[in-house]
Every structure is written in C-alpha cells, then in structure tokens.
Structure 1
Amino acid sequence: MIEPALVLEDARLSLEGNAGPVNILHGISLTVPPGQTVGLVGPSGSGKSSVLMLLGGLERATSGRVQAMGKDLGGMDEDALARLRRDKMGVVFQNFHLIPAMTALENVATPLELAGHPDAFARARAELEVVGLAHRSDHFPAQLSGGEQQRVALARASAPRPAILLADEPTGNLDEANGKAVIDLLFGLRDRHGSTLVLVTHSHELARRCDRVIRLRDGRIDQDSAGEGSE
C-alpha cells in the first residue's frame, strides 16, 4: 500500500480573537496520494488558506491529526517542522516573501545552502533558467516586476526538488498574462519533480487543471470532485 503524501483527519482549528476563540476549521478529513494535484477553492473566509497552513505545519491544528510524508506534524517541535519544510516541501505565497536585500540568485540559493547542498548556487541558476530569469539573477526583488518576483519564488520553492509543493493564491497579485505564465510554470515544475501539489486559488482555470478540486465552505469540505487533470 502506497503511503499518502498528506493526511488531515478530523482536523480542527480555532484561533483567539478579541471576543474569544474563533472556530476556523470544523473537522476536515482529507487524504492526498503522492503526485496528485489538488485545488482548494471556495469563497473568502471558507478556510482554504488555513487548510494549506495546517498541511505545511505553519499552523497547528487545535485537534485532530495532520500528517505529511508519514510524519505526524502534531508531535513535532518548531525546529523539526522547519527541517521537514526545508527538506520535503516547497511553499509559494501570494505575496512572494522574497528577501529584499538578496538578489534573485541568492533568494533561490539560500534554502539550498541551509540544507547543506554544496552545489546550491549552480542549482539556483538552473532553476532561474527554467523560469526564464537567468538574465535577472543579479537583480534585487525591488528591481523585478510582480510576475518576475513570483517566478523567483517558484524557483526557490522547486530548487530543493520537494516531494510536496504548497501554493497559496500564487496568481493572486498578478495580471492575467503573468498569472497564466506562472500557472504553466507551476505545473511544469510539478511535472519535473513528480511533486504532490496542493494550491489555494480563486482562479477557475487554475482549479480545472488539477486532478482533484475540493470546495470549502464555512470551514468544512463542501464538495470533493475530479478535475480535468484526472482525465
């Protein structure tokens, strides 16, 4: 039996608000096999990004079980979670999260250096070439357009060749042309590394390309259906 890449089992999330606890997720159960592409969709506030945060160990479930690559995230401390993300996951955010004082090349190479790869800069250059930015490797984030910054972020996420790619609204801050280019790159990077891909999106085009589309509403799974990628 093949071990799932990601598992949520009756996962619940409550956060403290000004008026007391706010229930965000209400018993989410989800199993994602290796190599599957999953689109998380739904209205704003439905819990999409919160599910992604749980899967990446960036937020801890209030109750229930969260598992990635066979490891129970609830039993891991922050250092262990950071190592898991470094070694097994690539995360892409809507707001890029590039380091302003580092060039594009340095931004991509940094996680590789932290993981101890001796060829960090060579691999970083190769990833920038894949996303079409080899000629911009010495530029700082402020010198790059939004589309270019997101492509650097994609290169950084994929450079460690992660088993799992998590993307939170990767086209949310981009115009239509740049958004389409980033979508193509994201799926291309997923295919190159055979990664499991889970992404949060409001884009119907992006969701349709997934193997599976999960619609959330009010912190619960409302629908779980096959996407066009499964055909």
Structure 2
Amino acid sequence: MDQVLSLTEAKLSLDGNAGRVDILHGITLDVQRGETLALTGPSGSGKSSLLMLMGGLERATGGRVTALDHDLSAMTEDQLARFRRDHMGVVFQSFHLIPTMTALENVATPLELAGTSDAFDRAAAELDSVGLGHRMGHYPSQMSGGEQQRVALARAAAPRPDILLADEPTGNLDGTTGAQIMDLLMDLRESHGATLILVTHSPSLAARCDREVRLRDGLLDTGLRDAAE
C-alpha cells in the first residue's frame, strides 16, 4: 500500500471569543491507500478538527498536510475546493442536504458541477445501491434521519472519491439505523476502493476499522490499534 494522506507536525489554532485557542499540537500520521482508520478520543480531543485538516476544510497553522502527494497547506481555497471535488467525499453527522432539492438532485448536483456527463444516471444508481431507489423524488423533509444519511452517503460516494471522510456519521441516529448506515459506509468503501477515515465515539464502530488512532488534548494518544490483533 502507498500513502494517501500524510501529516507532519500538523498544528491547528483558531481565534475564538476568548482569544487564540490551540486545538492540535503537532500531529504526525500517515494513512495508507485502501485503509479504514478510526479517529477516537474524548469530546474536545481534536478528532473532528483533525478530520477537517485531512480534508482541507481547515488549514493547518503549523506543520504540513499532504493528500495524494499534494500539499494542502500550499493550495488556494479554489484549488482546495477542486481537489475535494475530484478526490474526496465527506459525510457529516448532520447530513447537510439541500432542503429544496430531491434526493436525486442532491446526489447529482456535485457530479454535474464536476462535469460528469451521466450525472443523474450515476446518482440514481448510487441511491439504488443504498436502498433508496424508491425515494429519489422525495425531499429531505420527507425522509427519516436514516434515509437522509443514506442520501448523504450516496452523494459522497457517487464521484468515486479516493478518500472518504466521515465525521460521526451515525451520531444523530438510533443504534439500529446507525449500524445499517455503518454497514453501507463499509460496503461503499469496499466497492469503490476508497480510503475511509471515520470519527466516532463508538468502540464497536472503531473495532470494524483496520486501525484506530486515539486523540487526547490535541495530541495522539499512545495507541494505534490494529484490528487484526
């Protein structure tokens, strides 16, 4: 396997009401192609912030972050947006669907923006693969939380990204629905050959990944866990 993501002494500080807040204090971490990696740790430990750095959604204030041999720290905002469009899929806890668009339109729009000629056909196939072939014409307000997250998964997976980033994708769902979403996420990752990086509080979800990285107070905890152990 080869590296798809590499962080070298990556730091993140943000300005808040109380002044400058140091969130990540120097993270060095490599992620291999095709790997499934769980980011775990207590609330406030920096898990989501680390995921945002990996996706170029936050810019490192120190150190270096590279993805697919591209230095994210050196890119402009437009370059980052194009890079994410072409190489990354992101799934959030709160779905982030466009309320005035149907499920089909939510999935097809990013494909259209990327110039995909068969955007709606591919979107329909992706929705069918997550069990929503019968809900393509429905709006987010007409769907359950689990269905909305399925649409979000389909939207993230449809462009065939090299890297899938998921931030607590089951956090707003009940246990049964969350398990179904996790099954779908793992299936999509495997069928598309993507690298999956997952932020989760759930030990059972983390155990399904190849490796677990724990954070505490903005630093890597001692342990990397190999699921084969």
Please report the TM-score for the alignment, with normalisation by the length of structure 1: 0.97
2:90 matched residue in structure 1: 91
The equivalences for 1:114-129 within 5 A come to 114-129=113-128
Q: Is the 8 A contact 1:57 1:73 kept in 2?
A: yes
Q: Distance in 1 between matches of 2:223 and 2:155?
A: 30
The equivalences for 1:202-221 within 5 A come to 202-221=201-220
* 1:216, distance to aligned residue in structure 2 (A): 0.3
Q: Is the 8 A contact 1:47 1:218 kept in 2?
A: yes
* 1:227, distance to aligned residue in structure 2 (A): 3.7
The equivalences for 1:48-127 within 5 A come to 48-127=47-126
1:178 matched residue in structure 2: 177
1:169 matched residue in structure 2: 168
Q: Is the 8 A contact 1:209 1:227 kept in 2?
A: no
Count of residue pairs the alignment pairs up: 229
Q: Distance in 2 between matches of 1:114 and 1:45?
A: 35
Q: Distance in 1 between matches of 2:152 and 2:85?
A: 14
Q: Distance in 1 between matches of 2:20 and 2:171?
A: 29
Does the alignment pair 1:134 with 2:153?
no
Please report the TM-score for the alignment, with normalisation by the length of structure 2: 0.98
- SS of residue paired to 1:178: helix
| Structure 1 runs not aligned, ≥5 long | none
- SS of residue paired to 1:54: helix
* 1:12, distance to aligned residue in structure 2 (A): 0.5
1:128 maps to a residue whose letter is L
Q: Distance in 1 between matches of 2:126 and 2:184?
A: 11
**Cα RMSD over matched residues?**
0.9
Query: Residue by residue, what CA displacement relative to the aligned partner does 1:66-121 show, whole Å, maximum 9, x if unpaired?
Result: 01111000110011101111010000000000000000000000110011000000
2:146 matched residue in structure 1: 147
Q: Distance in 1 between matches of 2:56 and 2:98?
A: 21
Q: Distance in 1 between matches of 2:50 and 2:19?
A: 21
Query: Residue by residue, what CA displacement relative to the aligned partner does 1:134-189 show, whole Å, maximum 9, x if unpaired?
Result: 10000000000000000000000000010000000000000011100000000000
* 1:3, distance to aligned residue in structure 2 (A): 4.2
* 1:224, distance to aligned residue in structure 2 (A): 3.3
Q: Is the 8 A contact 1:207 1:227 kept in 2?
A: no
Q: Distance in 2 between matches of 1:146 and 1:5?
A: 31
Q: Distance in 2 between matches of 1:179 and 1:31?
A: 28
Moved over 2 A (4+): 223-228
% same residue: 67
